Amino acid sequence: MSMLPPIPPQPIPFTPRDVEVVSFDRHELGAILSVYGRMVAAGEWRDYGIAAMRDVAVFSIFRRAAEVPLYRIEKRPRLRMKQGLYAVLGEGGQILRRGHELAALLRFFDRKMIKPID
Q: Give the pLDDT of residue 113.
A: 59
pLDDT at 74: 92
For the chain, helix, strand, coil in percent to 5 are 25, 20, 50
Count, in order, helices (H) and strands (E) of the chain: 3, 5
pLDDT in tens, 67-107: 788 889 999 888 777 877 899 998 888 898 888 888 889 88
pTM, 2 dp: 0.74
The answer for residues whose C-beta is within 8 angstroms of residue 35's C-beta and 6 or more apart is 106, 109
Report the pLDDT value the prediction gives residue 60, as an integer from 0 to 100: 92
pLDDT for residue 66 is more than 80:
no
Identity of residue 81: M
Above 60 in pLDDT, residue 1? no
